[in-house]
Structure 1
Amino acid sequence: MKTVGSHLAALLSGGTKPHRQLLPFVRYVALLVGFVLLYGVLFHVIMAWEGQDHSWFTGIYWALTVMSTLGFGDITFESDLGRAFSSVVLVTGIVLLLVILPFLFIRLVYAPWIEQRTRGRIRGLQSVPAQVAGHVLICANDAIALGLIRRLELAGVPAYVIEPDADLAMRMQDAGLPVLVGEIDSVETYRAAGAAQACLVLANASDTVNSNIVLTVREVSESVPVVALAEVEDSIDVLELSGATHVLPLAHQLGEHLANRVSAGTAHANVIGKFHDLLLVEFPVHNTPFQGRTIRETRLREFTGVTIVGVSERGRLQPARPDLELSPLSVPAGIGTPEQIEELNDVLVIYDANPNPVLVIGGGKVGRAAARALKRREIPVHVVERNPDLEPKIAGIPDQLILGDAADRRVLDDA
């Protein structure tokens, strides 16, 4: 029911368990009528004692005006007894009309109306529209989900986040996020979500939950692509055996990506992707012959065969224009065959040698992955970690582990 009035009309017409819901209201009306009649009688008694004469309806009218706190003042008592009686009537009216009546309205009309609207919203969030196909299902609401939804919107691909908590799901919908209500390890959830018609299911919860998600989705569809995120590398095989099409160890990949951005050791091209037989790489220009030159002036394609396709600087990716000058902070992205990339490394290896160790602040999953990647490049690594419980996991990876808070300058000096 869309309005409070429609719910009240249904309540009065007996459409929603009328006897049980209307009983408190009937009792309240009977009590209110009883007080009005009682006060009307006492009004005449006291008025007769004061020597005033009024009709019986006037007594009812006076009781209602005083109890409702209107108090027009056209009829008043002259004695202290009458004024005391007026005070009692006024207090009774405040309790009955300003306290109990709103409470009954909220309990009998407004709260059931809100509950019915909530149930209706939840029913609408338990499935995707029948015409939806080629959509993406995201199994957990996190930063990855929010960023992915925005990018999919730009590509015109519908996406839905599956949220078990109905209240949170409604808040997400109010915030403009496409959401479905359901348990992420329930077959019925994925049937209602149209998993068989989806173009992708993203399992982005914990490794254990992701395994259950993959197995559940496979009960609905054997062909829908399922991408699972792995927190630890040991979970990759388990997720693949569960039926995941692709497994992404994001923390590990992020650590390696950060390690590739470090200007330490000898300069070289870092592979960040692959397209058929071509490798996508990024490389530094700091203290190399490319620094201060435009892309045309580097003549990189002529010497090595590698083509610069983009340039990242201060976290922003720019298109590779021939007249774009490469600054010391520029990190070009290039594409070429493995042999061409090796020729580029032969050019870079003699430049930008930096023997100083790399300081990694934080020995969590990403920090450990970055430290391992740097050690594979034979670059000295020092790690600062303030949680002593992580010491067993970090031990053996860096050349030096410093336990302490990186906000303390003495800790950084020791590192």
Structure 2
Amino acid sequence: MSGSNKNGNKSRWQISTERFASVFLLWVSATSQQRHFRTLLRFVIVVSMLVTAYALVFQALMTFEGQSHSLVTGFYWALSTMTTLGYGDIAFTSDLGRIFSIFVLLSGMIFMLVLLPVTFIELFWAPWMDARAADLVPRSVPEHIHGHVILTFYGPVASALIEKLNQFGYPYIVILPDIEEVKRLVDKGIRTIYGELNDPETYLRARVEHAALVATTRSDIVNTSVVFTVRGITSSTKVIATVREDSAVEILKLAGSSRVLDLTRLMAEALARRAIGGPGFSHIVGRIDDLLIAEIDASRTNLVGENYVNAQRQTQVSIVGFWARGQFEIGQADSTIDANSVLVLAGTKQQIKEFDANYRAEEASVKSKPVIIIGGGRVGRSTATALKRRGIDYRIVEPLEERIHDPEKYVHGSGSDKSALQRAGIEDAPTIIITTRDDETNIYLTIHCRLLRPDIQIISRATFERNVPTLHRAGSNIVMSYASMGSNALFNLLQRSDLLMIAEGLDVFKVPVPKGLAGKSLLEASFREATNCSVIGIDTDDETITGVGPDTILPETGEIVLIGTPQGETEFLRLYPLEKLAEPQQVTRKLE
């Protein structure tokens, strides 16, 4: 029994010794700590020289007074006096000796009681504790984890993507080169490890060979380094990089990126797709396999005033629901199509084409007035390009003169300036698109534009998801979230386009047919009312079924395509959970 305890104590002692050694090596290897150590050493040398000088002066003054003491006694007296211990067993009898004692005492209070503790704490103790804390920071993932997503940055896009990964059961890990940020995120429950992004060892510890995806959303230069480093380890793991400059696209591809995402262009396309106007009748806002999602201004159709169920019976497309003042509503039996709403349709290309031919109101005409874009940055310019492809005229309101490239298309001024908006044609414009990256500015501009034109369509960009409801309250008809759009784009590539964000507040997603619903009709399944999600298509091995109705039978194998709000999607997955590919795992503290 005692032998067992002894061996156990020895084992714990060895572990403690190894941990101390690792922390010490981490402490002394830091360049800043080496400078601190040299500074501390110089301070100790100065104090030692001062004590030696005091000891020598002590001997000289004692000899002057007729007393005889050794050099060791001189050191003993100097240290006891400087540290204010003052044993009193050795004392001067002359005024000169006492004045020297006062001087030694005062200098000791400064050096021993003030400077030495402060210097020791700042240059030794605090860095040592930081090194111990850094040693406890997670640096690897468990050996059994696989199919995970590796992220290299934590921001709005990563935060939204992590929420989606948790929802669908994908494990993830965030790699960050800042120890303090790692500790902060770990405390928040975000699975994070520490590592330099250009160090192959970092990705080996993150088990990149077994990962489903590496997503890097930093600057173009850092993203290139990440891609190149990962490709030096594995050629099979999918690596997705975002890009800011067009010139970096080919560089990232040459570095080995599986796909390069231009989130600015994606945001611009999304904003432009939602604008009213143009020669087209309905316009496509998304695609999932052979199924198209389209929107149409209800006032341009001959369905205004029709009951939703009656309108659905007249057409082959699925009239999924409608937008009203920024809120999406699934079509219900008692719903009536209002002229101020925007219909959301789902169907094949041919079905959409037939809808355009059969349900276009005679008075529907192309809106010839230009759309107003507030902000001439990258998103604003890309939105203008996307509108041009749709055949829609535009005017860009931009306060910076150096960004004005075409005086015919640009209006020099601020979006908060009424006269600038009037020069851009706000009295007749069908739509205003607000593209600045600052959410607070967008909220202000939304309220300002809504006051000037209560009936105009306002489309706004949001950088952070938390500001989406605020922008809706401010008066935006449609809000496109940069975070949601970016996270959905990355998730699409992970799940082979099984998820599509139509707008902030409306998702299209594909899931396997739940076992509890197989063989039932949509009417029997009756999850539409419970989840506020609607089936718009069924994908089997043989075909993609569109135009589904209440009597459509859900197959035992295959996938169903649903459309609904994020809350509805969450509720559906709660009622009919997916079979997870891998359970999210907690990261280990360090690589054993």
TM-score by length of structure 2 reads 0.51
Distance 1:23 1:84 in 2: 28
Shift of 1:338: 0.6
Shift of 1:93: 6.4
Shift of 1:236: 5.0
Q: Is the 8 A contact 1:252 1:366 kept in 2?
A: yes
Shift of 1:359: 0.9
Q: What does residue 132 of structure 2 align with?
A: 117
Distance 1:273 1:162 in 2: 32
Post-superposition Cα deviations, 1:325-344, rounded to whole Å, max 9, x if no partner, equal: 55555444332111111122
Partner residue of 2:353 out of 342, 356, 371: 342
Q: Matches of residues 281-300 of structure 1 in structure 2 within 5 Å?
A: 281-286=294-299, 288-291=301-304, 297=308, 299-300=310-311
Shift of 1:105: 4.2
Distance 2:223 2:123 in 1: 44
Q: Is the 8 A contact 1:267 1:348 kept in 2?
A: no
Q: Which amino acid aligns with 2:347?
A: G
Are residues 373 and 107 of structure 1, via their aligned partners in 2, closer, same or farther at CA, if it must alter by over 3 Å? closer
Matched, 1:128 2:141: yes
Q: Which amino acid aligns with 1:407?
A: S
Shift of 1:194: 1.4
Post-superposition Cα deviations, 1:67-108, rounded to whole Å, max 9, x if no partner, equal: 9999xxxxxxxxxx9x99998787566435541352254157
Q: Is the 8 A contact 2:373 2:396 kept in 1?
A: yes
Post-superposition Cα deviations, 1:97-153, rounded to whole Å, max 9, x if no partner, equal: 54135225415752242232244145x33x323233221112334321222123223
Q: What does residue 154 of structure 1 align with?
A: 167
Distance 1:197 1:352 in 2: 55
Are residues 216 and 291 of structure 1, via their aligned partners in 2, closer, same or farther at CA, if it must alter by over 3 Å? farther
Q: What does residue 413 of structure 2 align with?
A: 404
Q: Which moved more, 1:195-204 or 1:136-145?
A: 136-145
Are residues 408 and 303 of structure 1, via their aligned partners in 2, closer, same or farther at CA, if it must alter by over 3 Å? same
SS across alignment from 1:359? strand
Are residues 138 and 411 of structure 1, via their aligned partners in 2, closer, same or farther at CA, if it must alter by over 3 Å? same
Q: Is the 8 A contact 2:223 2:241 kept in 1?
A: yes
Matched, 1:383 2:396: yes
Are residues 165 and 264 of structure 1, via their aligned partners in 2, closer, same or farther at CA, if it must alter by over 3 Å? same
Aligned residues: 386
TM-score by length of structure 1 reads 0.70
**Greater RCO (Cα-Cα under 8 Å, separation 6 or more):** 2
Q: Which amino acid aligns with 2:414?
A: D
Q: What does residue 383 of structure 2 align with?
A: 370
Q: Is the 8 A contact 2:290 2:348 kept in 1?
A: yes
Post-superposition Cα deviations, 1:354-383, rounded to whole Å, max 9, x if no partner, equal: 322111112222212221222223222111
Shift of 1:223: 2.2
Q: Which moved more, 1:169-178 or 1:88-97?
A: 88-97
SS across alignment from 2:240? strand
Are residues 108 and 208 of structure 1, via their aligned partners in 2, closer, same or farther at CA, if it must alter by over 3 Å? closer
Are residues 203 and 86 of structure 1, via their aligned partners in 2, closer, same or farther at CA, if it must alter by over 3 Å? closer
Q: What does residue 217 of structure 1 align with?
A: 230
Distance 1:185 1:312 in 2: 46
Q: What does residue 110 of structure 2 align with?
A: 95
Distance 1:389 1:381 in 2: 19
SS across alignment from 1:268? coil
Q: Is the 8 A contact 1:286 1:352 kept in 2?
A: no
Shift of 1:235: 5.4
Q: What does residue 52 of structure 1 align with?
A: none
Partner residue of 1:355 out of 355, 368, 379: 368
Distance 2:221 2:278 in 1: 38
Q: What does residue 197 of structure 1 align with?
A: 210
Which structure 1 residue ranges, 5 or more long, are not aligned? 12-18, 43-59, 71-80
Superposition CA RMSD, Å: 5.1
Matched, 1:306 2:321: no
Q: Which amino acid aligns with 2:206?
A: A
Distance 1:241 1:86 in 2: 75
Which structure 2 residue ranges, 5 or more long, are not aligned? 1-12, 25-36, 62-75, 86-95, 425-592
Are residues 156 and 28 of structure 1, via their aligned partners in 2, closer, same or farther at CA, if it must alter by over 3 Å? farther
Post-superposition Cα deviations, 1:2-41, rounded to whole Å, max 9, x if no partner, equal: x9xx98xx99xxxxxxx99899779979989999xx99xx
Larger Rg: 1
Q: Which amino acid aligns with 2:173?
A: Y
Distance 2:361 2:233 in 1: 52
Q: Which moved more, 1:373-382 or 1:185-194?
A: 185-194
Q: What does residue 504 of structure 2 align with?
A: none
Q: Which amino acid aligns with 2:204?
A: R
SS across alignment from 2:141? coil
Distance 2:193 2:292 in 1: 39
SS across alignment from 1:402? strand
SS across alignment from 1:366? helix
Distance 2:124 2:191 in 1: 30
Are residues 237 and 283 of structure 1, via their aligned partners in 2, closer, same or farther at CA, if it must alter by over 3 Å? farther
SS across alignment from 1:354? coil
Q: Matches of residues 168-187 of structure 1 in structure 2 within 5 Å?
A: 168-187=181-200
Q: Is the 8 A contact 1:266 1:353 kept in 2?
A: yes
Partner residue of 2:263 out of 246, 250, 263: 250
SS across alignment from 1:345? helix
